[in-house]
Structure 1
Amino acid sequence: MFLIILGMLIVVISFFVVNGNSPLARFKGAIRIIGFVVIFLGAVTSMLKVIDAGDVGVKTLYGKVDDDVLHSGLNVVNPLVDVTTFDIRTQNYTMSAVHNEGNKEGDDAIRVLSADGLEVVIDLSVLFKVKPSSAPKILATIGTDYVDKVVRPITRTAIRDNAVSYDAVALYSLKREEFQQKIYQTIARSFAGRGLELEQLLVRNVTLPASVKAAIESKINAEQEAQKMTFVLQKEKQEAERKRVEAQGIADYQQILSTGLSDKQLQYEAIKAQKEIALSPNTKIIMLGNGKNPVIIGGN
């Protein structure tokens, strides 16, 4: 468009400014030709529109949006239309309590009230993209700032509307996955009606009030202590059972010895034991038996 205007300006100059007394008068024909060439080049350039990879283009002529989209590559268009490009790749919108981590400066986490009236702070990331065929509808009904007009408010509202059905502790632990699925479904429906596609929803962090967090930690510590005590008691019980079995075995052994062995068996066992002593390298003389019939074993 700029070249067309420039060419028209050159042509006008050649007709009205360059006159017979002007030093440029003899070149007015050439100037006029240059003007027409510039107009032609401007028209050709305006008819060619390059759309980058990952984008689509939406044509607008005098405020009217064309339903046909321009895809990536070189496209021939009416030189009078305006082309607005839309990014159709996956986009990430994060709301976080950590400074400089989200899309907005400062603490941008979502603060909600749970079913038990406690304030819970939620960090969230939304992965979404523009449907290529819906780009003209988005431009006509929302505009190019669809993130601030659709993505952010719908997401924050869905979080708050669904959080009131859960207790704070449930959001933090047991019901977190269920909560994430519910808000995913809510947001996906809202996005679909506005030309956006929700790809993934990530509840990155759930922060409880300090008092609730302390109570949870205290409960966990108590449960761990109870489990530890149960383990100790089980171990002591097993040890007591082992000692009982050992004592019973000793008692049974002594009972067998006291009732089942004769004097001759005891004498035989004594001889075996004394023989082992006699075989020791430190043994000199061993006397076995009573004084009447002694048995003498000599050693080294």
Structure 2
Amino acid sequence: MFVLSILLLIAAVVVFLVGRGRDGGGWKLGAVLSAVGGVLAGLFACVHVVSAYEVGVPVTFGRVGTPLTSGIQFKSPFTEVTSFSTRPVDLNLYDKDVVEVRSSQGGVLYADVTIKWAVVPAKAVALYRLAGSEEAVQERLVLPDSREIVRNVFAKHTSEEGYASAREQIGAEIEDLIKKRLAPRGIDVTAVNLRNVKPSDKLQDQIDKKIQQEQATERSEEGQRTAEAEAERKRIEAEGIANANKIIEKSLSDKVLYNQCLEAYKEAAKANPVYAVPCGTDSGGTPVIVNGSKN
């Protein structure tokens, strides 16, 4: 814009000098219009508008000045202003940019991460010196540091913790470390979202085999517990029968058995034409069975 202003002013002078020796007001009008255009272009070259939620870093002949806040700002026509957005920017690490990590066991996993970050206005000059532009801040500072931290955190956990049991803990640890790493550089990390963790195909096969082995072991242990319980039940039952037999053996004396035999014969005599002689004549003392229907 400043160059255009100079050119217009030079053109106004040339037109004025050429038209001075000639009749007609066209040359003078052209000179006046060129001069006015040159002055306006010069004024615009000294004005810079910083949009809302942005901060500008002025650079004049290689010297970095004080950051410019949002609004109309006056500057030297030789000053270039680089703008940085102060709104949160999303850095999405998924699909082609997914972070490949390794667990403490060496298993390969793929982590999808979204990082929300913003430039701290007071640190815009320092970020300009480190990177040069907002895109460079993300490519040179936020992206490599975030990838490194994600890999380091996953390397301290097992594969199972990485994709299942300790996923929330890992996400919180990553967020805390990224904030601590980038805050001193003037980058405010507002959120880190560990969206998804997927095992590699090889690791998934290992996981499936491990699950199958664990299920087989559980079935084997359950069968063993069932067999042991059945054996214990039979042992208790056998001990109960043995104890009962011992009690019966102790309680059944010869006289008791003899009396029970007599009672049995008496009952049989009621329904059949027989009767029992309670005092037998043989050496064993067996009652004599008499059939009353015969002589």
The CA deviation at 1:199 is 0.8
Please name the residue that 1:81 is paired with: 79
Matches within 5 A, 1:144-293: 144=133, 145-208=136-199, 209-215=203-209, 218=212
The CA deviation at 1:20 is 4.1
Q: CA–CA distance in 1 between the matches of 2:175 and 2:213?
A: 32
Matched letter for residue 150 of structure 1: L
Q: CA–CA distance in 1 between the matches of 2:6 and 2:216?
A: 81
Tell me the TM-score normalized by structure 2.
0.64
Q: CA–CA distance in 2 between the matches of 1:152 and 1:143?
A: 15
The CA deviation at 1:122 is 0.7
Q: Deviations over 1:128-165 (max 9, x none)?
A: 11111111211122111211111111111111122211
Any unmatched runs of 5+ in structure 2? 227-295
Q: Do the aligned residues in 1 keep the contact of 2:53 with 2:87 (CA within 8 Å)?
A: yes
Matched letter for residue 10 of structure 1: A
2:103 corresponds to 1:114 = yes
3-state SS in 1 of match to 2:165: coil
Q: CA–CA distance in 2 between the matches of 1:52 and 1:223?
A: 66
Q: CA–CA distance in 1 between the matches of 2:215 and 2:20?
A: 98
2:29 corresponds to 1:35 = no
Q: CA–CA distance in 2 between the matches of 1:32 and 1:64?
A: 37
Q: Do the aligned residues in 1 keep the contact of 2:9 with 2:39 (CA within 8 Å)?
A: no
2:8 corresponds to 1:10 = no
Q: Do the aligned residues in 1 keep the contact of 2:16 with 2:28 (CA within 8 Å)?
A: no
Q: CA–CA distance in 2 between the matches of 1:225 and 1:55?
A: 64
Aligned residues: 217
**Which structure dedicates a bigger proportion of its chain to helix?**
2
* Gap change, CA 1:195 and 1:223, over 3 Å in 2: farther
Any unmatched runs of 5+ in structure 1? 98-106, 234-300
Q: CA–CA distance in 1 between the matches of 2:213 and 2:49?
A: 63
Q: CA–CA distance in 1 between the matches of 2:150 and 2:14?
A: 64
| Aligned CA-pair RMSD | 2.9
Q: Deviations over 1:198-246 (max 9, x none)?
A: 11111111112221442465478779989xx9xxx9xxxxxxxxxxxxx
The CA deviation at 1:91 is 0.8
2:122 to 128, 133, 138: 133
Please name the residue that 2:45 is paired with: 46
Q: Do the aligned residues in 2 keep the contact of 1:6 with 1:38 (CA within 8 Å)?
A: no
Matched letter for residue 78 of structure 2: L
Tell me the TM-score normalized by structure 1.
0.63
The CA deviation at 1:62 is 1.1
